[in-house]
Structure 1
Amino acid sequence: MTLLAASASLDAQGLTPSNPNDPFLWLEEVESERALTWVRARNARSLVVLEGDPRFATLNAQALEIVNATDRIPAPSFWAGGISNFWQDAVNVRGLWRRTSVDSYASVAPVWETVLDVDALARSEGKNWVFRGGDCLEPDERYCLVQLSDGGKDAVEIREFDAVERRFIDGGFRFAEGKQSVAWIDRNTLLVAREWAPGEMTNSGYAYVVKRVTRGQPIERAVEVFRGEKSDVSASGFALRDADGRVAATLLYRGRTFWESEIHQLTPSGTRRLPFPARQSLHGLVDGQLLFTANEDWNGFKAGDVLSYDLAALLREPAQAKAELVLRPGPRESIEGVVTTKSRLVVALYEHVRGSAYAYQRGTNGWTRTRLPLPENVTVALGSVERGSDRLFVSITGFLTPQSLYLADAAAATATVVKQAPAKFDATGLVVEQHEATSADGTKVPYFLVRRADAPRDGTTPTLLYGYGGFQVSQLPSYSAIRGKLWLERGGAFAVANTRGGGEFGPAWHQAAIGVNRDRAHEDFLAVAEDLVAKRFTSPRRLGIQGGSQGGLFMGVAMTRRPDLFNAVIIGVPLFDMLRYHLLLAGASWMGEYGNPEIAEERAWILRYSPYQALAAGKAYPEPFIFTSTKDDRVHPGHARKAAARLEALGYPYLYYENVDGGHSAAANLVESARRNALEYTYLTRKLMDTP
């Protein structure tokens, strides 16, 4: 079929921007035999190309070696006076939930005790279980609510587990699979939000009714304590606890949109709304002060301010409570993490996308801060906090700097290296640079570039540009062993765009590119790509782009708007049909980010960039690699399927891979993750490194 004939065929079926009837709706039937037959055929066709490439086997073996390496740092969580970790390797594919003492963890060879063997559980029950964590009742942390996902979905089954006896409790709390939240109040009481009656879920597919569940009580007799509305995103309940694990207040969260919410208190006589801004994030308690961030201008405070309430005063007279300023970031600063210890608030504060950590203490003259002694110009990630103390883990990393794990004391302002990961690729001769591009409206957009110092500035360097650009998610420097081994070590360069829509400079940077202004993020990304070419770091022939989820939408927009600028596009677990995104799985929850296609004005601005409707005949699109997961119950796999189907109908080449498991990460275990990475870098090698 010629491109012209294909276009005429699609127009005849009504797939035009003004009349978006869709001939590929059947691909939204996630597990219909017709759709899965289509998937299997495209998988087979694409895998013959990618796995048939003689370089795939080596790349896959290298990726497997990295993900299964036993010398990587076990991610620690303080637990019941010791340390817990979830570990996966070549033997324990689904993983071990395990624990050790603090001293043992700090040693060269920790001695681990297995708490739950997920591989053994999956074998015994005939399930593809993916461990989603355990919420353990404070302060003893013996009894845990373990979450298990079938194949990596967001929907989970929840079971009560005895961590001392290392078994699921017969007759204990248990909830069948669903998108649900469960929170301990005490040993015999939970707050549960789930689908209590058929269809009793929000338009986004989440719970909006919260009930109190008592041990031994039939679930149908659970007492409703809060009800939102079907148009909300979700509702849930939780216990606000002090540093010693005692319940200070029982709170309820009502998410009216993805960004706007209400906080209510559950009292013996009912509920009452507490005076928080609609856009806010709660952080926890420090010496009776409830810490939160205002993500909008509110009551004289600025968006991004960290504030505190005296909890006792707030609960005594909510209407009279006065918030106090703790921290106001500067115009090129952002807060990328906040935790509370027994006596301190600890903040990961970034300036121009470079991290540091400060401990804040409240005194008679307000809040003062002390900088923790950590390396500079790195990414700082705050980790687990030890209950009842000021100790916490802090992780340090960079593009060329393997992870170092510190044990910090926020009160003493000390930080000691506990673990240091070995280098997994040869970084000799590589440099990290920070540049700025100028967007269409004159805004300066920073980006990082990792490249060989001696690479010629003649446009010949194969370069991969990554973008996300949404949901206030910042793109920070991080060490990726797979990217280093499979790309940088082989002569490729890597760039990351810090576009608006992200959180690199706080809530204002994000909010500048939502709704009607969404195109600012797209313009920022294209400006970075153009800057890489203009400065001769690379050229359109050698430039590829990559993004997943919201980033997959980013890639679709870039490909359809500037097909001349790229020679490779990796579109992962994407949003793509933005006129129907709100009807698919969790899509309705994101209308606060994108807008509502049911409203004519908002539909018009969404249509300006929706990649699915923008695909057209007669364009020189690069051959993209599109991947998704059948089990992704967050971003519907129909987006990726329909993108591929429309490209095919228009006569364009593409590569497509759909993992039958894996959830939103498109990988349920390390083996699948290694394979997906090997497929990506095989594709990039073919497109950007091979000679024409």
Structure 2
Amino acid sequence: MKKYFLLLVTLIGLNQVMNAQEDNYLWLEEIDSQKSLEFVNAQNKATLEELTAEDDYQSMFDNSLAIYNSSEKLVYPAILGDFAYSFWQDKNHVRGIWRRSSLESYTSGNPVWETLLDLDELSKKEGKKWVYKGSNGLYPDYNRFLIQLSNGGGDAVFIKEFDVNKKQFIENGFSIDDTKGGVNYVDENTLVVASDFGEGTVTTSGYPRQVKLWKRGTLLKDAQLIYEGETTDVGTWGFVFRDGSQAYTMITQASTFFTNRNFVWHNNKAIFLDIPDDAMPSNILNNQFIIQLKSDWSVNSKTYKTGALISLNFTELLKGNKEIQLIIEPDEFSSITQVSTTKNKLLISLLTNVKSELYIYSFNNEKWSSEKVNAPDFGSIYIAGTNELSDDYFFEFTNFTTPSTMYFADASKNTFETYKSLPAYFDGSKYEIQQHKAKSKDGTMVPYFMVSAKGMKYDGSNPTLIYAYGGYEISEIPYYASTIGVSWLDKGGVYVVANIRGGGEYGPKWHQDGMKEKRQNVFDDLYGVTEDLISRKVSSPKHLGIMGGSNGGLLVGVAFTQRPDLYNAVVCQVPLLDMQRFNKLLAGASWIGEYGNPDIPEEWEYLKKYSPYHNLKKGIDYPEVFFVTSTRDDRVHPGHARKMVAKMNDMGYKTYYYENTEGGHAGSSTNDQRAKSHALKFSYLLKKLK
């Protein structure tokens, strides 16, 4: 048996070597090699020369930059102690400032901001391209923070301790270099840390597999190890849940992207929490441990359904007992998009037929009760900020044509008032929003939104852009399309958002029906929406384009290789395209739970059927695709886009390509870079589809 196993491993290894030898473009995976960068520069030059010469390029750049730099943007507050904190970028703060306002000043609607950290000054001083990636504060006074900064915008961050009263980094304070882990304060002198602690302490996905408690004044290498996951896991992290003044140090071991083993560090040991591996812990409120189920859970002679939000008595759970309360059980056309807490209340944003509703839940007499917030409808609601010391909170309402509005609310009274609205960047009254459903190949009805001019002619000639994602249970919901309004709608375009499977619009099952061997459903859903637009004479293939990023980049990459007859323009952003090697590049191994493992022959069988890189053929009438990526993307390797372009070019196909030298997976770090990328993409779309 052992000999057979070794022979099998050898054969698989030889097969992988042979496949690697057949790939003539592996050299483009060398991110910063001279040869790779010469290729990138040549592609960039050709694309920039052509697209920046388009008539609308400069106006779209100027208009989008003005929107990105506008002083009228909504400020999403992190309410901590007596202050509201925010990060801000504009034309005078290119890399941005981290700032705060007194809570009283902020809630008045006229905040007076105090700059704490100027990233432009710091970048100039240190010769780095610093990008702000967030912060964690020290409860309850929040006079110290752990600031996360990325050099160039990648996921890996430098973490340094900062004194907000002195407005400076703390000399000899806590500091960690270049990590994809994370840190949280347990108390003033203790951190829970997940990081790369040296050889053998990261997973094959590049994330930490050890969690430690680090005491102030000691070396990180001497920190106390409290949990260690497996090398083959996605990663293991530590964090802190707060229930009022009570803090719990939590540990999550992610075996896959969608499964976790959860622990709490209690009485100097890691206590396993006996909940389903695919459940998603959310918060602890009034000793109720709140989790969302991703599959049915039968316990205590009762079954709680997939998608339900439930709570467990936390102190009893630590003893191994399960005292469970049902909070909400969405139906087949609903899903929970956000769960937040105030001091005493639970806030839930619920998506019903891809439109948001907001609810307040209270826990009294061992039962949950709810009230609906009378918020605006036919749009999206985002809980924008909560206060752990009161029941005040902020929420935002938005849809495609109505400027986003933030509201200041009181969960204890179920009241709210307008706080601030965005200005109208385009005349939304000229457009209408419709919601339709299209039939996919297997008969599933797939919802989509369409934004178009009132009185539009249904003659098949309208330039139409479809945006979709279709993965990781991420829902695509209405939002105020300010830059799309000025660059696309106002130029005669139709904008469509497709709510295809793989997303979370209809709950966990909607996602699960697009995973692994079922992934063709995702692509068929997109084709169903496209064909519905054609059959209703909204547009035609000559005038149809698609756009997607990351997993959405894979989606549109598959679409133009499987159905080149449907589209005349494709914007493929920070994409996965080589599905044979995705698990070997950067964080790719962490996505096996979504796509499958190409190193397992039966799983490669379904992956190779759609892998865009492997399904390119000569002599096909492909659209001239525009690929966009970033040199500093340390999540999805830029080699995916580079190799696809090189292979297509060598087959004789024209492509467009733009690789920003920084920006990480977001593609851009500054507003100027965002405006440039936006103007390039929409210049391309107008060129191809009008």
Counterpart position of 1:307: 310
Q: 1:114, CA displacement in angstroms?
A: 0.6
Contact 2:76 2:384 in 1 (8 A): no
Return the alpha-carbon distance in structure 1 between the equivalents of residues 221 and 315 of structure 2: 35
Task: Tell me the secondary structure at the aligned position of residue 306 of structure 2.
Answer: coil
**In the alignment, structure 1 residue 582 sits paired with structure 2 residue 569:** no
Return the alpha-carbon distance in structure 2 between the equivalents of residues 250 and 110 of structure 1: 34
Task: State the TM-score, normalized to the length of structure 2.
Answer: 0.95
Counterpart position of 1:76: 77
Counterpart position of 2:133: 132
Return the alpha-carbon distance in structure 2 between the equivalents of residues 214 and 346 of structure 1: 35
Return the alpha-carbon distance in structure 2 between the equivalents of residues 243 and 439 of structure 1: 48
Identify if the C-alpha distance between structure 1 residues 221 and 619 changes in structure 2 by more than 3 Å, giving closer, same or farther: same
Counterpart position of 2:423: 422
Counterpart position of 2:250: 251
Return the alpha-carbon distance in structure 2 between the equivalents of residues 23 and 434 of structure 1: 45
Return the alpha-carbon distance in structure 2 between the equivalents of residues 463 and 579 of structure 1: 32
Contact 1:372 1:410 in 2 (8 A): no
Task: State the TM-score, normalized to the length of structure 1.
Answer: 0.95
After TM superposition, the structure 1 stretch with the greater mean CA deviation from structure 2, 554-563 or 75-84, is 75-84
Counterpart position of 2:548: 547
Return the alpha-carbon distance in structure 2 between the equivalents of residues 522 and 513 of structure 1: 9
Counterpart position of 2:59: 58
Return the alpha-carbon distance in structure 2 between the equivalents of residues 49 and 434 of structure 1: 36
After TM superposition, the structure 1 stretch with the greater mean CA deviation from structure 2, 498-507 or 389-398, is 389-398
Amino acid at match of 1:654: T
Amino acid at match of 1:380: I
Amino acid at match of 1:376: D
Amino acid at match of 2:149: L
Contact 2:81 2:389 in 1 (8 A): no
Cα offsets for 1:540-586 (capped at 9, x unmatched): 11110000000000000110011111110000000000111000000
Return the alpha-carbon distance in structure 2 between the equivalents of residues 15 and 458 of structure 1: 50
Q: 1:412, CA displacement in angstroms?
A: 1.1
Cα offsets for 1:472-525 (capped at 9, x unmatched): 000000012111111111111100110010000000110111011011011001
Return the alpha-carbon distance in structure 2 between the equivalents of residues 433 and 16 of structure 1: 51
**In the alignment, structure 1 residue 278 sits paired with structure 2 residue 277:** yes
Counterpart position of 2:616: 615
Give the total of aligned pairs. 672
Return the alpha-carbon distance in structure 2 between the equivalents of residues 504 and 302 of structure 1: 17
Counterpart position of 1:149: 150
Contact 1:81 1:101 in 2 (8 A): yes
The 5-angstrom pairing of residues 606-645 of structure 1 reads: 606-645=607-646
Contact 2:206 2:586 in 1 (8 A): yes
Return the alpha-carbon distance in structure 1 between the equivalents of residues 429 and 380 of structure 2: 21
Cα offsets for 1:139-182 (capped at 9, x unmatched): 11111000000010100000000111111000100011121211
Return the alpha-carbon distance in structure 1 between the equivalents of residues 201 and 366 of structure 2: 50
Counterpart position of 1:216: 217
Return the alpha-carbon distance in structure 2 between the equivalents of residues 281 and 150 of structure 1: 31
Amino acid at match of 1:342: K
Q: 1:199, CA displacement in angstroms?
A: 4.5
Return the alpha-carbon distance in structure 2 between the equivalents of residues 17 and 517 of structure 1: 28
Return the alpha-carbon distance in structure 2 between the equivalents of residues 499 and 16 of structure 1: 36
Q: 1:593, CA displacement in angstroms?
A: 0.4
Counterpart position of 1:469: 470
Amino acid at match of 2:513: A
Task: Tell me the secondary structure at the aligned position of residue 586 of structure 1.
Answer: helix
Counterpart position of 1:11: none
Q: 1:450, CA displacement in angstroms?
A: 0.2
Return the alpha-carbon distance in structure 2 between the equivalents of residues 74 and 325 of structure 1: 34
Q: 1:324, CA displacement in angstroms?
A: 2.0
**In the alignment, structure 1 residue 648 sits paired with structure 2 residue 682:** no
Amino acid at match of 2:154: K
Cα offsets for 1:206-245 (capped at 9, x unmatched): 000111111001222111111000000010112221134x
Counterpart position of 1:3: none
Return the alpha-carbon distance in structure 2 between the equivalents of residues 16 and 550 of structure 1: 26
Amino acid at match of 1:46: T
Task: Tell me the secondary structure at the aligned position of residue 44 of structure 1.
Answer: helix
**In the alignment, structure 1 residue 434 sits paired with structure 2 residue 399:** no
The 5-angstrom pairing of residues 280-429 of structure 1 reads: 280-299=279-298, 300-315=303-318, 317-318=319-320, 320-364=321-365, 366-429=367-430
Contact 2:325 2:368 in 1 (8 A): no
Q: RMSD of the TM alignment (CA)? A: 1.6
Contact 1:20 1:613 in 2 (8 A): no
Contact 1:15 1:613 in 2 (8 A): no
Amino acid at match of 1:512: D
Q: 1:102, CA displacement in angstroms?
A: 2.9
Amino acid at match of 2:332: P
Return the alpha-carbon distance in structure 1 between the equivalents of residues 79 and 576 of structure 2: 37
Cα offsets for 1:90-120 (capped at 9, x unmatched): 0100111111123422445432111111111
After the TM superposition, list the runs of 4 or more consecutive aligned residues in structure 1 that deviate by more than 6 angstroms.
14-20
Return the alpha-carbon distance in structure 2 between the equivalents of residues 52 and 490 of structure 1: 18
Return the alpha-carbon distance in structure 2 between the equivalents of residues 296 and 590 of structure 1: 20
Counterpart position of 2:262: 263
Give me the identity figure in percent: 40
Task: Tell me the secondary structure at the aligned position of residue 643 of structure 1.
Answer: helix
Task: Tell me the secondary structure at the aligned position of residue 588 of structure 1.
Answer: helix
Q: Structure 1, unaligned stretches of length 5 or more?
A: 1-13
Contact 2:402 2:428 in 1 (8 A): no
Return the alpha-carbon distance in structure 1 between the equivalents of residues 109 and 325 of structure 2: 45
Amino acid at match of 2:281: L
Return the alpha-carbon distance in structure 1 between the equivalents of residues 200 and 660 of structure 2: 28
Counterpart position of 1:484: 485
Q: 1:54, CA displacement in angstroms?
A: 3.0
